[in-house]
Amino acid sequence: MIPLKRYLGLLWTYLKPQWLNVIVLTALVLSSIGLHLVNPQILRYFIDAAQAGEPAPTLMLAAGGFLSAAIVAQALAFTGTYIGETIAWTATNALRLDLTRHCLCLDMTFHKTHTPGELIERIDGDVNTLANFFSQLALHLLGNGLLALGILVLLFRENGFIGLVGAGYTLLTFATLRAVQTPVSRAWNHSRQAEADLYGFMGERLGGTEDIRANGAEPYVLRQLTQFMRAVSQTWLKAKVWQRLSANLGDTVYLFTQVTALATGAWLFLGGRITLGTVYLIVHYVTQLQAPLGNIQRQVDDLQRASASIARIEALFNTRPTLIEHAHAQLPAGPLAVMLENVNFHYGEWKMENQRISESTNDNSTPTIPNIPPPASRIPYPVSSSTTVLHNIAFSLKPGRVLGVLGRTGSGKTTLTRLLCRLYEPVTGTIRLDNTDLRDVSFSDLRRRVGLVTQDIQLFRGTARDNLTLFNPNIPDEAILDALRTLELWDWYQTLPAGLDTHLQSGGKSLSAGEAQLLAFARVFLKDPSLVILDEASSRLDPATEQRLERAIGRLLHNRTAIIIAHRLATVQRANEILILEAGHIVEYGDRLALVTDPTSRFAQLLQAGMVEVLA
């Protein structure tokens, strides 16, 4: 079970902004407790008054008081439910925002090892489990505890033996809860992890539907899906069995307590020591005692579910990026020089230690829910899980020059561009832009000054304007339209029924491959970067579309430094310098024209052999 202070830390973080609603909800709960304690007293008075032959107006007054209290109690319950749900949605949405922001700040190494489906289950599924935790759980645990305590005090006031019966029932109920608390929490933790694995598998396979169908892999996928669903079913069933066992034990204890209360009340009444109204009061209070204790039991069940989700959320929050923003320097205006000095890099393996979450629930450390990065000295780099991808890469590119990077698949070309965008950090070595260490540049400045276009274009659900500006409202429509004319997207724009307000389908279904690539160029063009990186941006296009794209590339690269990864001759013809990678090593680097005229150079040999065939 997670220590209490970690629950309180989470509640304090996300309920503090809603302190007024929390105070109102607390007042409603306390008022409801008072009515639940007073109403049976009114009914006892009514029974005793009726038995004593009191006049009708007196009985009507008691009945009216009882009815009024019941109506007020219902109104308080309705209002409390509304406010509680408001608190829950506000708190969970804030938590979702923090988790999403945290995931977006994590390195690409993390995202390469965790599927979108798994992260969606973490950000949405686990947070949904906490809705009751934020809205009612903590407050209702306290409220039901106070109600149970009030009932016990009133039982002792009526009769000491009946009070002992109620106290014994309460102690046995809590002992039962304590006995099953740990296995129930562990079972729900395993169930949540199984669901995360299932969603991760489904998201990954649905994303690759075309390849799966084209290669006839449906039976294999369905067989694996069955295994994941079986794991979800087994872990969920185990968790429900433990939960049901807890409930059944509580019901058994209540049954014996109720029989004891009825027998004791009958014995005392027949002995003339209490009135019939008091018998009713005792039975009612003992019966009523089941409600707060049952509610506490259900809240504890929810708390056990919440503890598994909280542990998993904490594990995600505790996953820290290796890329630390220092922001000591600012890049100058104009085309940027690029310099790499003895850069080495390997991909690491990054894991959220799910298998140790159950151990973390017994950790007494302070909560780490607030998104505050630890000191850089405490952040380890992911352990290497493969051989080095780049070896001692060193070159220098002057401002305004164009570098063509060539190499076979897996030679490290794309990795090199990701390092220049600081999506990864070199293991050793330094990358400089205009003599400024990349690690000293703020992320916002770097992203603004470096533009990246890949062959896989991501379109988002939104308008054409949103997709062209990447949701930046500060770019005027005039600039967007000018970019569309410049990059030969005007014909496409004229087909849009609502102009820039036309909604595009996510995934690029409403654009051809060439149009999607030109749209990506327009994004970079509107950002006006100083360094443009094209990662095989025309590798999947037909020659006619590629010619159109080449004209757009010429306009995009005007007065900018550029690095082009390509395996087509037409694309690298505009390069001033050529760099050839092989197995992560630079095997050739130099002026393009000089390499063309040198028959012994690898670049000249590639041109003779045909670059498409050699490098594909």
Integer-rounded Cα radius of gyration of the chain: 34
Per-residue confidence band for 373, with pLDDT thresholds at 50, 70 and 90: very low
Q: How far apart are CA 489 and CA 469, in angstroms?
A: 15
Mean pLDDT to the nearest integer, 188-208:
80
Pick the CATH number of 401-425+438-615 from 1.10.540.10, 3.40.50.300, 2.40.10.220, 3.90.1150.10: 3.40.50.300
Is 380:573 a contact under the CB 8 Å cutoff? no
| Residue of 65, 67, 76, 64 lying closest to 24 (CA atoms) | 76
Q: Does position 563 have pLDDT exceeding 90, yes or no? A: yes
Q: Which residue has the higher pLDDT, 500 or 138?
A: 500
Is 517:538 a contact under the CB 8 Å cutoff? yes
Mean pLDDT to the nearest integer, 328-350:
84
CATH of domain 4-318: 1.20.1560.10
Please report, for the chain, the start and end positions of each structural domain, with discontinuous segments joined by +.
Answer: 4-318, 401-425+438-615
Greatest Cα pair distance in the chain: 122
Tell me the pLDDT tens digit for each residue of 571-603.
Answer: 788 899 999 999 899 999 999 999 999 989 988
Q: What pLDDT is attached to residue 124?
A: 82
Q: What pLDDT is attached to residue 378?
A: 31
Q: Does position 397 have pLDDT exceeding 90, yes or no? A: yes
- Which secondary structure element, helix H or strand E, spans residue 391, and what is its range? strand 390-397
Per-residue confidence band for 481, with pLDDT thresholds at 50, 70 and 90: very high
Choose the weakest-confidence range: 208-217, 412-421, 435-444. 208-217
Per-residue confidence band for 278, with pLDDT thresholds at 50, 70 and 90: confident
| Residue of 598, 15, 158, 584 lying closest to 150 (CA atoms) | 158
Q: Does position 269 have pLDDT exceeding 80, yes or no? A: no
Rounded (5°) CA angle 489-492-495: 150
Q: What pLDDT is attached to residue 391?
A: 93
Tell me the pLDDT tens digit for each residue of 21-80.
Answer: 888 888 888 888 788 778 788 877 777 788 777 788 888 888 888 888 888 988 988 888
Rounded to the nearest 10 degrees, the angle between the axes of helix 218-270 and helix 276-318 is: 150
Average pLDDT value over all residues in the chain = 79
Q: What pLDDT is attached to residue 513?
A: 75
Q: What pLDDT is attached to residue 4?
A: 62
Q: What pLDDT is attached to residue 266?
A: 77
Q: What pLDDT is attached to residue 129?
A: 75
Percent share of the chain, pLDDT over 70: 85
Q: Does position 385 have pLDDT exceeding 60, yes or no? A: no
Q: How far apart are CA 116 and CA 596, in angstroms?
A: 45
Give the highest mean pLDDT range of 37-41, 87-91, 404-408. 404-408
Q: Which residue has the higher pLDDT, 299 or 64?
A: 64
Q: What pLDDT is attached to residue 3?
A: 63
DSSP state of 459: P
Q: What pLDDT is attached to residue 396?
A: 94
Mean pLDDT to the nearest integer, 384-407:
85
Tell me the pLDDT tens digit for each residue of 508-545.
Answer: 566 777 788 888 888 988 988 999 999 876 655 666 67
Mean pLDDT to the nearest integer, 316-342:
85
Assign 3-class secondary structure to 121-181: HHHHHHHHHCHHHHHHHHHHHHHHHHHHHHHHHHHHHHCHHHHHHHHHHHHHHHHHHHHHH
Residue with tokens 């000295």: 377
